[in-house]
Structure 1
């Protein structure tokens, strides 16, 4: 009965035309990396105007990552994950949820720093930004592996799984 209320799944095993998670998450990746870049350049060039650019990128990245995680959860649940892909999908999921909390905490810290003095940043914040960049790059690697190595939500892999080939 409940199945009649849900839209049918397409060739990608999704109820909508194509994956949405990668679209949203690319905005998050760009905003986080650009924020860290602006902080670094602003710190070393003493151009405090770049801190404002960084702040707004972090602010919108914090909102966007929760949208990305929501669609990631939906699409992970609908993915026809096979044993070889499960550990990567699980690690990608755990790191995605962790990054949403980490980015929110860094943004909150940045907000406090901005209230105290919007024209300066401590070196510790720059170091945390570099660590965040490493985590984001690792998460990108895992996401790329899920698509380009394991083929989750790609038509040939979905068809192969439905036919029992994989």
Structure 2
């Protein structure tokens, strides 16, 4: 049994495939939908949509830390070659920064919700727009790691094992 826990597969992982992208796509969706529901509630006057936006941000905040845990673990197993290292380092930095930003915005959203659940300041929507843009940058960096540099893909893992990439 221990051999299954300590051996790495052809993706250089101890489990069948990467988990970080699965969890992180959930976070991306929750942040984007949280922002969309808040904007819709603000401009339509349907304040019950603010509650949907709040719960999206709350769940995104929790899921963000799960994404970071798996991201750090899988990044450590990725054995990035020199060209990919700078993108991976930037992706890591932005990811950790996003965890703080999302947590702060969610805390702010909680205070707003506690004071008056029927109103949302325009400044909060501005912060949500900035958050959405930062998430877009992070998506770009993550896509680049997979689709350009091929981290945790079988051909790249094999090339690393054969010493073809450094």
TM-score normalised by structure 2 residue count: 0.96
What residue in structure 2 maps to residue 109 of structure 1?
108
1:36 aligns with 2:35: yes
Count residues with an aligned counterpart. Answer: 164
Q: Deviations over 1:66-106 (max 9, x none)?
A: 00000000000000200000000000001101101110110
Shift of residue 4 of structure 1?
Answer: 7.1
Q: Deviations over 1:36-93 (max 9, x none)?
A: 0011111111110110000000000000000000000000000020000000000000
CA distance in 1: counterparts of 2:10 and 2:125, whole angstroms: 44
1:9 aligned counterpart, secondary structure? coil
Shift of residue 7 of structure 1?
Answer: 1.6
1:133 aligns with 2:128: no
What residue in structure 2 maps to residue 154 of structure 1?
153
Q: Is the 8 A contact 2:4 2:14 kept in 1?
A: no
TM-score normalised by structure 1 residue count: 0.96
1:27 aligns with 2:26: yes
Structure 2, unmatched stretches of 5+, are none
CA distance in 1: counterparts of 2:125 and 2:72, whole angstroms: 31
CA distance in 2: counterparts of 1:158 and 1:5, whole angstroms: 19
Q: CA RMSD in A?
A: 1.3
1:14 aligned counterpart, secondary structure? coil
What residue in structure 1 maps to residue 81 of structure 2?
82
Structure 1, unmatched stretches of 5+, are none
Shift of residue 165 of structure 1?
Answer: 1.2
